[in-house]
Structure 1
Amino acid sequence: MLRRLNSVTAFLPLSLLLLCLRIEASVHEYTGERFVSKGNAFVVHGGSEGLYASIPNLNESSPPDSFIRFEKIIFQRPGEISNISSGSIHAIVFEVDDRETIGGSAYGGQRAVCCTADLAKLGVCTQGQIIHRPSTYNPGWPQVFGVSFDVDKVETILPPRSIQITKSGMYNMYFIYCDPNLKDVIVKGKTIWKNPTGYLPGRMAPLMNFYGFMSLGFVVLGIFWFSQYARHWREVLPLQNCATLLITLGMFEMALWYFDYAEFNETGVRPTGITVWAVTFGTVKRTVSWLIILMVSMGYGVVRPTLGGLTSKVLMLGTTFFVASEVLELVENVGAVSDLSGKARLFFVLPVAILDAFFILWIFTSLSSTLNKLQVLCSSFMCSCFVLTY
């Protein structure tokens, strides 16, 4: 029975070859993000995503189907500095190949985004303004536009604008200002990044198709497994009950991830509830998988009926791994709409990596000990049963 199931599961990764790789986009909301100092500029990162070029449309009056749209972008400053006018706050959108067109340096020194006195003397820019040059690869790019504060005004609104994407690539957007007199400025509003096929970011776009095929694969595997399970129910081993649990968890995980990405693709907003459930089912499945492999390597279900005094240690390791993995996956997936992972994720990767290494070390140590014990006992039948099960 196990051999048949192994032959079926071996073909599941082939579903990856059927994926249709597309690049899509999402909605970015800004709820009071503060500008932070980066070199001689003050910056808010607005988003970074892979975007696909608009499909040619014979009807010129039709709106573009691939674009970045600015909606109700509001900049706010404290009231105590509202009695002065200010330099402009700019929105900059550029494709990754054009990143060298933003900023510059005088005499090969440190690269600056805002024009310095030395660069102004060279006549390449106006002091206090953002340095940018036209792209040689993409005419009309980078896109730079802005707005300034009027005297006695604490708010200024960026005029609505829609930028059509005419070239496929990785696009970045920043809000930047150079005026050091502006302090504690925040930005509110949203930008909509969209492609012809939906709102999914480029990094996530293939995953919707992937989880769709994997859901179908798990359904086929489940039908086969449960039919064999019902047919041979008198001969089922305890470990095969665990395999049944894993298949069930896999079905739910794949289906939930598919619905998560399908909803995201349709609305541009990540459905938090579905994402949390998908993450939880996936984490439970990985934890149970590690524990099953560990128990088998210890000989459970084949050469020993229980784990004895190791039960509490195994459960403690499994619980710790579940908590660490759940936190990591929640941080990485819940509410994530950008193609770039945050630096905070690195902090949560380390505990999971250490626990993975501990599982691997314990598994191989236990496996070696179990095989040596079987050889000492000269139990060829038990050894063959153990190898077959493993």
Structure 2
Amino acid sequence: MSSFGASASAIVILCLWSLHFTQASLHDYSAEKFANKGNVFVVHGGSEGIYSSNSNLNQSSTSSSDGLSFIRFEKIIFRRPEEFSNFSSGSIHAVVFEVDDRETIGGSAYGGQRAVCCTADLAKLGVCTQGEIIHRPSTNNPGWPKVFGASFGIDEFEAKLQPRTIHITKTGMYNVYFMHCDHNLKEVVVEGKTIWKNPTGYLPGRMAPLMNFYGYMSLMFVLLGIFWFSQYARFWREVLALQNCITLVITLGMFEMALWYFDYAEFNETGVRPTGITVWAVTFGAVKRTVARLIILMVSMGYGVVRPTLGGLTSKVLLLGGTFFLASEVLELVENVGTVSDFSGKARLFFVLPVAILDAFFILWIFNSLSATLNKLQARRLLAKLDIYRRFTNALAVAVIVSVGWVCYELYFKSTDVYNERWEKAWIIPAFWQVLSFSLLCVICALWAPSQNSMRYVYSDDSEEFDKDITLTLIKPSLLPSKDVRIPSEVRSTPGGDRTSNGGDVEEDKTE
């Protein structure tokens, strides 16, 4: 079964690598309502990191990897109910700006509260027309921000925005907002779509590096799988239950990495996030993380090494694992399914907290169990098992220290990057956790790889706890009887098992 899993994973990855993928993200608006923000009504149309168009452009090319970068507005329609159609309206604007130009949108009078719509005080200063969107030309990016719009005539139910394509000539985080300042248009909705394209395709700029990353990770899992499954096949008679669990984690990891690569590749090709593939990738990842944590916890408890079962702790371990799986699955679904923007919402923070608490509980339980297991192994002088557990403990300690350090860096990174200005480096954060978990898996595979000595680490009765090779090294040669020592006849046994008693000392029979 393990060989089948390795072969299937390898075939999936090879098929993915053999396909020719190109890279735009399609943002659909289906009756999106305007939300009141201060003195303006807003629909967020998307935020993505976009690289500037390549210098050598082939304008006649129809390929999605033609080197062009743009934001295209297609079939944008503003609709209002019939009962609110008996008046003409002001413009409903589409505003496109790069994050560095955010201060060019809106303004304030006499240093007061910032407003996006022109107020009476600002109109008196002559800087804008009351009721219109405030915007000024950028000093760093001539021709930006882009502001255009449409308005309703009397008895008109629809206002159409003319199709247009905005070419991107500067790398940056771009934002699209639909705005209006007319309180009589509160019931207006927006429909249509915008298409965002990078030089190499449709993936948003922050996500684009992850496609290559998951491709490389798929290859690394294949190499790890080749090593593990070759050892598994060579010493299948010596395989332990723990090693079967590690085989499961490696197989799940292979499929997870392949599915993530396929998810981004399909998104890159079509501009639409493939929901089915994303859900499968998320589920495989959640199962892998849960099984990996349960394995580490069970190993820390000494399962299969110093105790044959978990006893009364089995239900608690399974409950913790099930809870972690649900929390992790929900978090990843919220974060990834249908996500086509580089904008990270605040709702994610609500789902991160349960996962972080459960992870902390796992860590405390693991190290408490490891401490008890190490003490038990030392007391029983099981030196071979003690050595491998010490190395395992050191690897876990390093992983936890690195994790805490990276969490601190991640909090610093996100707290100081409110507007996603460092989007080009943001892909490193999720990639780091994948690399760390893979590194720890490699350490576990190195410590518990199937071998001819695997049975040395399996649980045995108290009367058989000493490992043979360790026991022999502990017996000093000086304590063994020499060939010249005479044994009293009353304790000498005959080859048939009967004791002799001839009243004297006889030389030990060397054949015995």
Distance 1:52 1:202, change over 3 A: same
Q: Which residue in 2 is equivalent to 1:35? A: 34
The 8 Å contact of residues 374 and 390 in structure 2, kept in 1 or not, is answered as: no
Select 1:303's aligned residue among 294, 299, 306.
306
Question: Is the deviation greater in 63-72 or in 123-132?
Answer: 63-72
For the residue of structure 2 that corresponds to 1:181, the secondary structure is helix
Q: 2:263 aligns with which of 260, 263, 277?
A: 260
Mapped partners of 1:302, 1:276: distance in 2: 37
Q: How far does the alpha carbon of each residue in 1:270-328 deviate from its partner, in whole angstroms, 9 at most, with x for none?
A: 00111111101000000001001100110112111111111111011101110111111
Q: Give the distance between the partners of 1:226 and 1:58, measured in 2 at CA.
A: 48
8 Å contact from structure 1 (residues 25, 202) kept in 2: no
Higher relative contact order (CA 8 A, sep 6+): 1
Matched with 1:51 is 50
> Could you tell me which residue of structure 1 aligns to residue 162 of structure 2?
159
Once the two structures are superposed, the pairs formed by residues 33-182 of structure 1 within 5 Å of their partners are: 33-57=32-56, 65-182=68-185
* Matched residue, 1:327: 330
Q: Which residue of 1 aligns with 2:216?
A: 213
Letter in 1 for 2:373: T
Task: Flag the 1:297–1:112 CA change in 2: closer, same or farther, 3 A.
Answer: same
Give, in angstroms, the shift of residue 171 of structure 1: 0.3
State the alpha-carbon separation in 1 of the partners of residues 352 and 388 from structure 2. Answer: 37
Do the aligned residues in 2 keep the contact of 1:302 with 1:385 (CA within 8 Å)? no
Structure 1 letter corresponding to 2:46: G
Q: Which letter maps to 1:316?
A: L
Are residues 236 and 58 of structure 1, via their aligned partners in 2, closer, same or farther at CA, if it must alter by over 3 Å?
closer
Does structure 1 retain, via aligned residues, the 8 Å contact 2:214–2:260? yes
Task: Measure, in 2, the Cα distance between the counterparts of 1:383 and 1:139.
Answer: 68
Partner Cα separation in structure 1 for residue 194 and residue 216 of structure 2 = 31
Whole-Å separation in 2 of the counterparts to 1:302 and 1:61? 67
Q: Partner letter of residue 125 of structure 1?
A: C
1:341 and 2:344 correspond: yes
The AA in structure 2 aligned to 1:50 is G
Rounded to whole Å, the distance in 2 between the matches of 1:363 and 1:204 is 34
Q: Which amino acid in structure 1 is aligned with residue 105 of structure 2?
A: I
CA–CA distance in 2 between the matches of 1:27 and 1:371?
55
Following superposition, the deviation at residue 226 of structure 1 comes to 0.6
Q: Percentage identity across aligned positions?
A: 80
CA RMSD of aligned residues (A): 1.6
Preserved CA contact (<8 Å) 2:90 2:151: yes
Flag the 1:58–1:207 CA change in 2: closer, same or farther, 3 A. Answer: closer
Contact 2:44/2:178 (<8 A) preserved: yes
AA matched with 1:259: F
Secondary structure of 1:120's aligned partner: helix
C-alpha contact (below 8 Å) 2:24/2:270 kept by paired residues: no
Mapped partners of 2:197, 2:61: distance in 1: 15
Shift of residue 57, structure 1, vs aligned partner: 4.1
Offset, 1:203: 1.6
Measured at CA, do residues 324 and 117 of structure 1 come closer, stay the same or move farther in structure 2, by a change above 3 Å?
Answer: same
Whether 1:316 and 2:315 are equivalent positions in the alignment is no
* Cα distance change on mapping 1:379 and 1:130 into 2, 3 Å: same
Q: What letter corresponds to residue 43 of structure 2 in structure 1?
A: V
Partner Cα separation in structure 1 for residue 56 and residue 357 of structure 2: 53
Structure 2 portions without partners, runs of 5+: 1-22, 394-512
Larger Rg: 2
Q: 1:373 to 1:29 in 2, by over 3 A?
A: same
Of 184, 196, 201 in structure 2, the residue corresponding to residue 198 of structure 1 is 201
State the Cα deviation string for residues 233-271 of structure 1 (Å, max 9, x = none): 222222111111111011100111111000000000000
Contact preservation (8 Å) 2:78, 2:159? yes
SS in structure 2 at match of 1:30: strand
| Cα-to-partner distance string for 1:124-144 (whole Å, 9 max, x where unaligned) | 111111100001111100000
Aligned partner of 1:350 among 329, 349, 353: 353
**1:152 corresponds to which letter in structure 2?**
D
TM-score (norm 2): 0.70
Report the Cα distance in structure 2 between the residues aligned to 1:247 and 1:385, rounded to whole angstroms: 21
The gaps in structure 1 that reach 5 residues or longer are 1-23
**1:153-188 deviation digits (Å, cap 9, x = unpaired):** 111111101000011111011000011121211111
